[in-house]
Each structure stands twice: as C-alpha cells, then as structure tokens.
Structure 1
Amino acid sequence: RNKQVFERQWQAADAERESEQGRKWVFFLTVPLPPAASNYSAPVNFISAGLRKPAAEEEVEDDSDEDDEKPIKQEELPKEVVPKKLKTGGNFKPSQKGFAGGNKSFMDFGSWERHTKGIGQKLLQKMGYVPGRGLGKNAQGIISPIEAKQRKGKGAVGAYGSERTSQSLQDFPVVDSEEEAEEAFQKDLSQWRKDPNGGKKKPKYSYKTVEELKAKGRIGKQLSAPPKELSQVKVIDMTGREQKVYYSYSQIGHKHNIPDDSPQQPLGKDSKPQGFALPELEHNLQLLIDITEQEIIQNDRQLQYERDMVINLTHEIQKISEVLTHEETAIGNLSKVLEMVEECERRMMPNCSNPLTLDECAKIFGTLQDKYYEEYRMSDRVDLAVAIVFPLMKDYFKNWDPLKDCTYGTDVIAKWKTLLENDQLLSLSGQDLTTDAFHRLMWEIWMPYVRNIITQWQPRNCGPMVDFLDSWVHVIPVWVLDNILDQLIFPKLQKEVENWNPLTDTVPIHSWIHPWLPLMQARLEPLYSPIRNKLANALQKWHPSDSSAKLILQPWKDVFTPGSWEAFMVKNIVPKLGMCLHELVINPHQQHMDAFYWVVDWAGMISVSSLVGLLEKHFFPKWLQVLCSWLSNSPNYEEITKWYLGWKSMFSDQVLAHPSIKEKFNEALDIMNRAVSSSVGGYMQPGARENIAYLTHTERRKDFQYEAMQERREAENMAQRGIGMAASSVPMNFKDLIQTKAEEHNIVFMPVIGKRHEGKQLYTFGRIVIYIDRGVVFVQGEKTWVPTSLQSLIDMAK
C-alpha cells in the first residue's frame, strides 16, 4: 500500500517537473575518495542535489569532489537549486525534494489541486480527512511512506535492524512473524560481533550434541546420490567478495552461521585497530568442524546400515536354515523311498527266494503314497510301475477268461487305480500314456485279454459280454471303454445285423440288440435304419391274422424315434389293417368278429388318429348302412339297442373319446330317434320310443360325465405342476375355472340347449360361442373352430 501511494505521488511530481521549462530534478552520485588505504567495497551513497539548471545556465562546476566526505547542506546549494513554486501552486519543502531526506510530515500533501480541477483533495476532505494527519478512520494511514536511511555496511535490506518508520511503529505496533524471525536472527548474529558501545561482549555459543547431529543427518539425508558421494563433492562458492571452497553440499547451508566481518573502515581519528583477526584460522577451524560433523553423520549412517544388514542377514540365515532342514528331510525321505524301490527290484529277480507278490507290491506303493506323498508324486511313477507292477499284473491275468468270470480282478484293478492314476483328466483325443501309469497298465496289460476274447465272441450271445462290461465300467478309464464299444463291439453288431433275416431267424433281433442300449445308447442309431428296412421287406406278404409281426415290432416302439416309428406303421401296417376292415362283413344276425379283432389288437401300436381314420373310412359307413336297413324293416328296438351297445363296447375309452367316433355313435342315435319318431301311423313296438329316448339320454350323460372327468384330471394335473392358481383355489374342472373367470369379469356363461359340436356341448361366453374339449377352449371362427387361451377368450368376450 505504501508503495502504491509513493508511486502516485512520484508520478504527480514528475508531471510537474516536466512542465518546468527545461528544469529537471537531478540526483548526484557521490563516491567517497578515501586516502591511500582506500576501501573500494564501501557502499554507494545517494544524496539530493536539488533542481538542475537548464543547459544555457549550467556553467558553474560542482565543487562536491573537493570534499566527498562532507554532506551537502541546504545553505550551500546554489540559488537556482532553491525550490520554487510550481505552476500548480504547490510548494515543496527542502526535506520533501525527491521524497527522501526529511522526517517532517507531509503537511501540504496534494496542495496543488487547489488550482486544478482535480477532486481528489475535495473527496478526501468530505470523507473527514484532516491535513497533516494519517488516512483512515483512526488516522492510522502512513503520510510519509518512505524514509531514506543510509546503511553503514553492505548487508541486504533488514540486515541492520528494522526498516520501518517511526510513524509505522506508532500506528502499527504489532510485529509480524517475519520481524520476529529477523530479531531472532540478529540476536544470534550479535554474538559474533563486538559490543556497539565499544566494549567487549562475551559471545554466546550454541552447542550441538552428537545425538542432535545424528538426528539432523538422518532428516537431511539425500536419496538422490549415495552419502559418500555427497560428502566428497567439492563446491566452489563465488557469491561473495572472496572465493570460498566447500567440501560438501551440506556446508553451503551453514555458510551464514558465521557472518562476514563488517566492512573495513578507513583508518581515521575514530577508527580502532582490531585486536584479534585471524580469518584463515577461523576458516580452518570451521572447516575442521564441518568435516567432523560429516564424519559423525557418515559414521551414524554406516552404523545404521550395518545394523540393518545384520537384521537382514539374520532373517536370511533363518530362511536358509528352514530350507536346509526341508532339504535334509527330503533327502532322508528319498533315501527311504530308494531303499524300498531297491528292495522291490531285488525281490523281482528270477532267482529270489522270497519273490514279490502283487498284494505286497500294492502295500509298498500304498506306503509310498501315504508317508512319502510328495516324493511319490514327484517321482516317475510310470517307469516304476512298468518295471515292478506290470510283470506282476500280467502274471495275475494270464489264465483269465472275461466271459466266464467277469468280476475277476476288479477289486485289484480298483486298488491300483487309486495308487497309479494321475490327478489330471485325460481324454481320448489328448491321451498320453507316458504321463499316467494306470492308463498305460489298462491299455498294455488288461486290454489285450479283452481284445482277444471279443474277437472270438458271437454277438447273438450278448449276455456274458454285457455282464462283463457292466462289471468293469466303473473301473476302466472312459476312453478305454469307448474304444471297446466303438472299435470292437459295434463292428461285430453291425456285421451281425447285415446277416440277419427276419423271415428265417428264429431268434428275435431285439433279444441281442436291446441289452446293449444302457451301454451304447446313441451308438446303436446307425443299426436302426437297416433293421427297419429288413422288417419292411418281411411285412410285404404279411396278413393281420399273423400275430408274430406284433411280437417282433412291439419291442422297437420305444427304441425308434416317434417320427420314424409312426412312418413305419403308416407305410407297412396301416394299409394291411385297412384292407382287413374293408373285407369285414357286418351282419346283425350272424357276425364274425375275427377281422375286427385283428385290427383292434393293434390299437396300442398304431396312433389313435390312424386307427380312427381306418374306422371312419372302412367300418362306420358299412355299420351305419346296416343300421338304417335294419330300422326300415319293423325291427325289434330292444335288439337294436343291444347291438348298438355291443359294438360300442368293442372300442377302448381312448378311441371313444375321439370327437369323430363320438360323432358317429351320436349319428346312430339320431337315426334311431328319427326312425321311432317317423313311425306314427304304422305298427310300433310298445315302449320303443321311450327306450330309444332313454338310451339317447343315457349315452349323452355318459359323454358329459366323461368330459367332466377329463376336465377334472386336466385341472388336477395343472395344479400338480404349479400352473394356474394355488391348489386350494383350483376349480374342480376346466369348466368351473371358466365359470369363475366369467363371474370375475361379469360375462354371461351358459350352455346352449340342444346344440352340440362333435358330441361336445356348446356354450355362450358373452357374445361368442365355445365348446370345451379335454381342457382346451375352442372358439367358432369363420370356417372352423379355433383353440384359444383363456385370457384371449376373455378379451374377445368383452
């Protein structure tokens, strides 16, 4: 703030000076000329020389060079230098020229504005400014911001005390932290100087203990370079008057601990010779102190490094001791394992008195696995097993016949599986027998016996071979079993199927093919197509009266896929059955039922739709024609009723539930009702009309009860599967469910009296007509009845 005020004042004064005609302020630089023992390092002094004359009037030479030590006084200044009144009307006092010289308050500050249009002074006065006093509410502003002082030495600003003015100290007595630090610095500095009063002052020394020096060295430790390099760097300091040499970067921070001597003063009257001044000795002593400090710090760091190294080496010794103990244990274990292996090899020699048995060998390998697991896993088990176990295993299976004793050796092989099998999973594609001893054992020792017996095996005698593989399936590796089934068993079966003739072979093919289904499953798929072709060729001359065809085909119904089975039946069986029904003669008086039985007997083999199609095409037209002829010749309605019920009992419930079959039997009832109703004038058997009506009512009620039962079953199945509502709120049947939904949505749901479709009761559901068939809602469309969901039904009814 003081600087800004000063700059504004300086600019205003400079403008006034430039307005003078050629007059300018001049500062003379006075350099003292000392005697012979001159001190050229003395400071440069600036003093005010007043106003400079114009070039035309400047003739008088300045005599200030005659006595450079005397300051220029006001009375000695030339007349032209005496301050004059500026054009603005302001007068500068001698102490105010150049703003550096006097201590008087700036009484006429801004007085030139009285003759100008400036309003700065007026605004200040309106705000309560009183000339001669400071600015601000409490008059604490500084009027004289700068007071020039001549320094006696060459120190920097603040080196010889505070630079504050008396007014600053008066208005702002509080000392800031920088001034406190400066005072502390001067206090420490004063112990190296003499007393200003001339007497000798006892210096106050500050001491450092070794611990403090060590702590300082640890804190100031530089990580950018090793300590030895930092302590041995030679540094030349040329920042002062004299060149100084340091032997460590840390010494640079201490170069101001011992300040330089005060500038030499020329010898005069008041000067006193120095009593004791040996700067070289002081420098050497300081250098020795610095070197000693660096040695102490370096020794402390080296000691700490050695201590850390001791701790590190202690941990390293402990770790190496543990490794050594572990290695000694491993060596001991390997020695014991080697002894056991050598013992096995010794007992495997041909002339050994105590030969090694397979059970004893298994115990030895079990001991190796239990007590020396790491060594056993790290060792080459394949070579060890090949050398010791394989000969014993080969001798164990030398008299084995897999088809006679299929379980022989399963326990032994299962035990060796746990001892020799590797932990990693092996597949057929990536099988490496060199990495797993058990797989190699099965392939080289066990597999040759199996391969030999399968080459002699007859596929029609499948029982022993299937039992053998079932006994070993949980022991042998998966890829070995796949190899047996794909490369050995399947080719034998395929060749036998090619040689099979269903017309001459007395043994059914399913008896020696189906036992392989649990083991081979989808592997038998390639055999099914040749079997179907051979069966189709055998059925070309077949007649439904021959029941052997059903015995041959029935085991394959669940083996073939549903699509292939249905296609086979439609192509080879259904046409034969249709021909048989076509030849059937319906005679109420003498009926032969053999042909009908031949057809119905295939109900479980062919689909319901195929059987219904046969009946609609070949049976019901003739049956309804016989009924019409019988009713036209004054029949006995009681016999007709028995005949109707007798034929209906010949069909299963599944067939009777079909809408087409229901429609045919309902058509027969309608024919009987029309026949009874049309006999008005002729003879009518007593009670015939009532009997026919009762029969019709009974049959319709049975159909309704059957529908209700079916719907109830569907609802129960839905409840069991968790579909729909909870079990407690599930309706008894699907019709009740529709009724409940209709009540929830305020929809009218009621049966249409006297209206049926394919034997199903029609209902009105709002504005649409529906019927229910086996838990499915059918809605009447434009051309046909369309199944729909319950929610769609509700949406359409609204």
Structure 2
Amino acid sequence: MSDRRGLGGSSIATTATSFLPAKKKDPSKDRVKTQDKGKPSSPRQRGSASPSPGPGFAAFTKHTTGFGQKMLEKMGWTAGKGLGAGGEGMVNPVETKQRPKGMGMGFRGFQERTEQTKLEAMETSEEEEEEEEQDEIAAPRQAWKRKDKIPQEQTIPSVKSRKAKKVTYQTANDILADVQQSMQQQPQKVIDMTGPSIREISISDIRRTDSPTLMETTTRLPELRHNLRLIVDLSRGDLENLSREKQNTAFRLKAMEEELDVIQQRHKVDEERLDKIQQVKAIGLQLQQISRDALANGMYESANMTTLFGEPFEQLKTKYMDQVVHMRLDAMVVAVWAPIMKYRCVHWNVLENPLLGLDDIKRWRPLLLCNDDMEKKKSSRRRHTKQNDISLEATPFETMMNTIWLNKVRSAINNSWQVREPDAVIQLLEAWQPVLPRFIFENIIYQLVLPKLTRAVADWDPRNDEQLVHTWIHPWLPVLQAWRLADICTTIRHKLSVILRQWHPSDESALEVVGRWNDVWTRQQMDHFLQKNVLPKLIQVLRREFVVNPRDQQLEPLAWCLAWNGILSDQVFGELLDNEIFPQWLRVLYKWLTMDPNHVNYDEIKEWYMWWKQVFTSLGIADHPVLLKWTRRALEMMNAASSGESIEAP
C-alpha cells in the first residue's frame, strides 16, 4: 500500500524538484568529475590542464647546454611540477603539431590542435557546465525570496542574466556597401603562405565579423555548417561580382557618353567643313568662268589680277584660309594666275620696269603658299626634335615663279645688264626679296649676280680705270651683305696691294680708294692691309723727308702721314707719332734749350711751341694722348731751363 502524503508531507520538503529540461550526460565526463571531487580546486588550477610530464620530458637538453633548465632549478623549480611559487602553473611546455608538407589549413578535416589543446578545451567546457548546473539548481531554490529584499551584491546570476557576446549579421546591402567602399579605397595586399607557393589575395576574401557566431564556436552538425558557409561565401562572391560589374558598367556608360559627345562634335565639325567645301567649290567655278571670259575678251593685256579676280580672292583670303592651307587650294589660285603672268612676261623689260606684277603678288601672297612659310612654322618643332624633312615638294607658286618669272629675269641679267650699272638689278632684288621663295632669290645671287661681279672685278685695272671700284660694288652691300662679297673683296685688296708697291704718300688718291673700304673690310683685314702696304711708306717719308727746322719748317710730309688718322688703328697711329714724329721734335727743343744762355731767346721758344700746337690742332690730333704726353715733357723741359736747372736729354 503506497504511502500517500498531503501537501505538508516531508517528501516534498526533502526532494529538490527541477523543472529544467534534462541534459544528456557523458559517462567519460562524469568519470572525470568523480576523480576530481576530492581535489581542491582554485581558479589558477582550473585554468591549468597540463598532464604530468611524459617520459621524454626535457630530452632536447642533451643537444644544448641546458641553460634554461639550470636557471629554473636555481629558482626552486623541480622537474615534474608546474611553474609558479605554488606549482600551480604549466607542467609541460607548449606542444606543437607539424602539418604535412604542401597541405593547406583545414585540408580534408586535418586537426590543427594538439592533444594538450584538446584536453585544456575539455576541462574548460566541463568547468563551465558545472557552473551552469549550479546556477540552474540554485535559482529555483531562491525563487521564493522577495527580490526587493535581496541585496544586489548577493543576487545569484542566472543563465539569462549572463551577458552573451553580441553577434552581428550583415545584409546584402551592407555587403554591397563594404565592397564599394573597399573598391574605392586603395587595395591592401595579403600574403597567403598556406599553400605550396606564395600568392596575393584581397582583404575581402578573409574578412569576417568581429565576434564569432555560435556556428563558429560549436562543433555540432559540421556538414550543415560547412554547406551554410559555402552558401554564404558563394552569395558574397556573387554580390561582389555584381557590384563590380555594376561599377564597371557605370564606367563604360560614362566613357561611351563622352565618346558620343566627341563623335557629335566631330560630326558637327565635318558638317561645317562640308559646307565650306561646297562654298569653295563654287568659288573655284567662279574663277574658272572669269578666266575663260578674260581670255575671250582680251582682258589679259590691260587688266591686273586684282581687277580680274579680286572678289573671289578676297573671299578665300578672309573666310577660307584654313581650307586653302589644308586642302592646298593655292593650286586653284595659281591655275588662273599663271596664264596671265606668262603672257605679260613675254613683253616684260626687266631692267626698265623691275616692279611689274609685284603689287598683285604682295596683296595676294597669303593665297600663294610657299615652303618657306611652312618652314617658319615648323622651325621651333624641328629645334626640339632635331629632325628635318627628307624632301620638299615645290608648291604651285614656287613652280610658277621658277619656270616663268625666273627665266625672264635670268635672260635679262645675262644678256642686258651692265655690271657697272647695278641700280636696276638691285631695285629688282630689294623689291622682290620679301615675296620670292628663298631658293629663287639665292639662285639669282649665286648663279647670276656674283659670277658676273667676280668677272668684272677680275678685269678691273686700278691704274687705268677712271671709275673707282667702290662705286659699283658698294651698292650691293645692302642686298648681298659683306660676307657674300668676301671673295670679291680679297681680289680687290690683292689688286690694290700691287698698285701700292710704287705709291708715294704724296698721292692722295690711295687714301680715297682705301678709305672707302674702311667700313666694309673687317678691322683685322684693314690693319693687315695697311701694315703691309701703307705704314712702311709713311715711316719712310717721315724719316727721309720730314725735318723739324725752326728756321724753315716744311709741313707737307707731316700732313701726308697724319691724313691717315682714322684709317690706321689708334694703336698703329699712336706708335707712328710716338716713334717717328715727336722724338725728333723734342730733340730740337732740347738742343735749343741747352745752347749758350746768352744766345737763348725764351720768347722765340714760346712762340715756336705755340705755333706747333696750332699746327697739331689743324691736323686733327690736338687731343691725341700721345701728343699730350710729349707736350707735357716739353713744358717740363722749358720750365727747368728757365729755372736754371739741368735738363735730361730725351
């Protein structure tokens, strides 16, 4: 018969009834608990789960000096005990486990943890389960107490009151935002050394949440967790690819829009160019019709180019100059110009009217393209790149001037022009030089003018020719420049040197002839010529014919020599005065002052000195430094003589 008791029976009081769900117990864990019941536990001992040392403990010291073990033994440590003052620390050293060669992390379920790590994790989980069971048992027992009377410090924490780690989850929008932000930022390089070779991966491939989730800490349902992780990784990869594709599509769309704008602008430019081409075509037809009408009416003979084609030429010059340059429309202009020029050159007298047709070419020169104009525009680029055009093709204008205009000019210079009448050809070259192509201008100079001048100078006879050579050579200097006339000047100097061999300074014609070349020849050429041909003659005259005589002074030899002042260089002229004139003049003064004092008349000496100063002033050397030096010495000598002092001989 069963013992039935009421509400106040002792069975209820003695039995602790728990309404928590039952837990499945592990016999191995219970066995470990039973073995550890009688052992004292402390927080430090709970944290240490190292087993007793194995038989091979510290066997590696035989390969070393054992310095570390000796230091520990000196500080009180004994083999087989834990570290620390009470021996509650680690007993065994940290174990390591070698991964097979070439195997990556987690390959085919390879366990990275060692036995020591597994044992410590098991002990830690058992302690946590014991604490949870104690909390679960203690909570119902104290449930009858009033919570407001229980001090806050003595409340027993429950399972719900334990603050669990917060798990964060990311939505698809969060992942897309992170991917876009990571793409905008500078990518970071991560070195993966887990495989057989080193490789670089992106930071997004290894990104995880800050706190581990329950799936990452638990060991249950590995297949499901693995599949879920694969699904998450695949979804993340798909989202990243879609985001990257979206961004690339946006970039391509922007590039295509920019390209569309460029194409539209180009299309607009092409339409404008096409319109201008149609207008230029109409102008070309107009030029053709005007040319035909002028040929039929005979207007070629009287009308000029501006009268015939002024209106269409003006339109091309003001509105369509770019088309003229790029489409080479100068051929169209030359096509109507060449027949008129050819007709007029037949009856053209070059020497009588050298400016025929020049005004028309000057006015419409921009329409007549020339390689010289293009060279000026490309000169700076060639200076930087150091490249020259291999070959140049003659423009229509250059061809017209070379075949029509130059032939007429060549015929006139070779057959009609007299060298000693240079004005007509000089006027022709000076007027046409700005508009002529450079090669045509150089052709006229080197092939026509200079050869004829050279032959004329070679035939020139300075003795018998009444016309001085400079009268028909010097007018060419502005056009030809002195460097082009260098060979001709050399021939002239040679001929003058031959004439001056028998020259006497009393003949002033040499001074006139040589003086004309003072600004043409270089200073070095002139000095060399004078020192070789003129200076010896002057020295000879001063030494033989010039005598300082107070009674009967002859000044003609002195005047002949001093007339070369300004042609001789300052240094050469100063040496001539210093060596040939004033020493003789001062010696005469010294003799006069050193005579018997009874016969010396200082008033006559003073008058003689003042007379010579007037002579030097009239000859143009009053302010010459050499003259001032010698007159100062003369005054010193006269002062010394008047004072009765001795005079030093010069």
TM-score category by the smaller chain?
0.5 to 0.7
Letter in 2 for 1:608: G
From 75, 79, 94, the equivalent of 2:38 is: 94
- Determine the C-alpha separation between the residues in 2 that align with 1:262 and 1:661: 126
1: distance between equivalents of 2:218 and 2:535? 131
Work out whether 1:45 is the aligned partner of 2:6.
Answer: no
Deviations 1:478-506 (A, max 9, x none): 44433333332222221111111110100
Name the counterpart of 2:514: 553
Is contact 2:355–2:431 with CA below 8 Å preserved after alignment?
yes
Q: Does structure 2 retain, via aligned residues, the 8 Å contact 1:100–1:147?
A: no
CA shift, 1:648, in A, is 3.7
Whether 1:599 and 2:561 are equivalent positions in the alignment is yes
Counterpart code for 2:286: E
* Stretches of structure 2 lacking an aligned partner (at least 5 in a row): 1-23, 48-73, 78-85, 87-119, 136-152, 184-204, 225-229, 380-387
- Out of 379-388 and 306-315, give the one that drifted further: 306-315
Whether the aligned pair in 2 keeps the contact of 1:146 and 1:165 (CA below 8 Å) is no
2:325 aligns with one of 339, 354, 377: 377
CA distance in 1, matches of 2:294, 2:621: 81
Q: Give the partner amino acid of 2:374.
A: Q
Equivalent of 1:615, from 572, 575, 581?
A: 581
Match of 1:654 in 2: 621
Shift of 1:365: 3.7
Residues 234-273 of structure 1: pairs in structure 2 closer than 5 A: none
Q: Is the 8 A contact 1:101 1:148 kept in 2?
A: no
TM-score (normalised: structure 1): 0.48
Partner residue in 2 for 1:642: 607
Match of residue 358 from structure 1: 305
Relative to structure 1, is the Cα distance of residues 461 and 548 closer, same or farther in structure 2, using a 3 angstrom cutoff?
same
Q: SS state of the match for residue 442, structure 2?
A: helix
Q: Are the equivalent residues in 2 in contact too, given 1:433–1:440 (CA < 8 A)?
A: no
Q: Is the 1:656–1:662 Cα contact (8 Å) retained in structure 2?
A: no
Residues 433-457 of structure 1: per-residue CA shift (max 9 Å, x gap) = 5264444444344332332222232
Give the CA deviation at 1:634: 3.9
Mean CA deviation greater in 516-525 or 639-648 = 639-648
Q: Which amino acid aligns with 2:621?
A: Q
The correspondence for 1:502, drawn from 431, 439, 462, is 462
> Which position in structure 2 is the counterpart of 1:516?
476
Deviation at 1:661, TM superposition (A): 7.4
Contact 1:536 1:572 in 2 (8 A): yes
The SS at the match of 2:364 is helix
SS at match of 2:465: coil
- C-alpha spacing 1:634/1:441, structure 2 compared with 1 (3 Å): same
Instruction: Give the direction of change, closer, same or farther, for the CA distance of 1:380–1:223 in structure 2 (3 Å limit).
Output: farther
Q: 2: CA distance between counterparts of 1:597 and 1:99?
A: 134
Q: Which amino acid aligns with 1:358?
A: M
Q: Does 1:325 align with 2:258?
A: no
Larger RCO, structure (CA 8 Å, separation 6 or more): 2
TM norm structure 2: 0.57
Q: Deviations over 1:271-297 (max 9, x none)?
A: xxxxxxxxx9xxxxxx99999999999
Structure-2 residue corresponding to 1:578: 539
Structure 1: any 5+ residue segments left out of the alignment? 1-40, 50-70, 75-91, 104-116, 121-128, 130-144, 152-156, 189-207, 225-248, 264-279, 281-286, 679-753, 759-798
2:353 aligned counterpart, secondary structure: coil
Secondary structure, in 3 states, of the residue corresponding to 1:650?
helix
**SS of the residue 1:654 aligns to:** coil
1:471 alignment counterpart = 431
The residue type paired with residue 472 of structure 2 is W
Residue 342, structure 1, aligned to residue 285, structure 2:
yes
What corresponds to 2:498 in structure 1? 537
Q: Do 2:419 and 2:456's aligned partners in 1 also have CA atoms closer than 8 Å?
A: yes
Contact 1:498 1:530 in 2 (8 A): yes
Work out the CA distance in 2 between the residues paired with 1:172 and 1:416.
112
Q: How many residues end up aligned between the 2 structures? A: 488
2:343 is matched with which residue: 395, 413, 416? 395
Distance 1:567 1:671 in 2: 40
Shift, 1:563, TM fit: 3.0
Q: Which amino acid aligns with 1:342?
A: L
Give SS of 1:453's match. Answer: helix
Distance 1:341 1:623, change over 3 A: same
Pair 1:450 & 2:409 matched: yes
Distance 1:651 1:665 in 2: 14
Structure 1 residues 264-303: aligned runs within 5 Å: none
Q: Which letter does structure 2 place at the counterpart of 1:614?
A: E
Matches of 1:645 and 1:462, distance apart in 2: 52
Alpha-carbon distance between aligned partners in 2 of 1:644 and 1:262, rounded to the nearest angstrom: 139
d(CA) in 2 for partners of 1:180 and 1:259? 17
Amino acid at match of 1:329: E
Letter in 2 for 1:512: W
Cα gap change, 1:554 to 1:46, in 2 (>3 Å):
same
Report the Cα distance in structure 1 between the residues aligned to 2:236 and 2:408, rounded to whole angstroms.
92
**1:213 & 1:660 partners in 2: Cα distance?**
110
User: Offset of 1:388 from its aligned partner?
Assistant: 3.1
Identity %, equivalent residues: 24
CA distance in 1, matches of 2:322, 2:157: 82
Counting strand residues as a fraction of each chain, which structure ranks higher? Answer: 1
Three-state SS of the structure 2 residue aligned to 1:541 is coil
Deviation at 1:645, TM superposition (A): 3.0
CA contact (8 A) 2:470 2:516 kept: yes
Does the aligned pair in 2 maintain the 1:454–1:488 contact within 8 Å?
Answer: yes
Aligned mates of 2:267, 2:254 — CA distance in 1: 20
Distance 1:334 1:576 in 2: 78
What is the CA-CA distance between 1:376 and the residue it aligns to? 2.8
Q: Distance in 2 between matches of 1:439 and 1:756?
A: 80
Q: Does 1:566 align with 2:532?
A: no
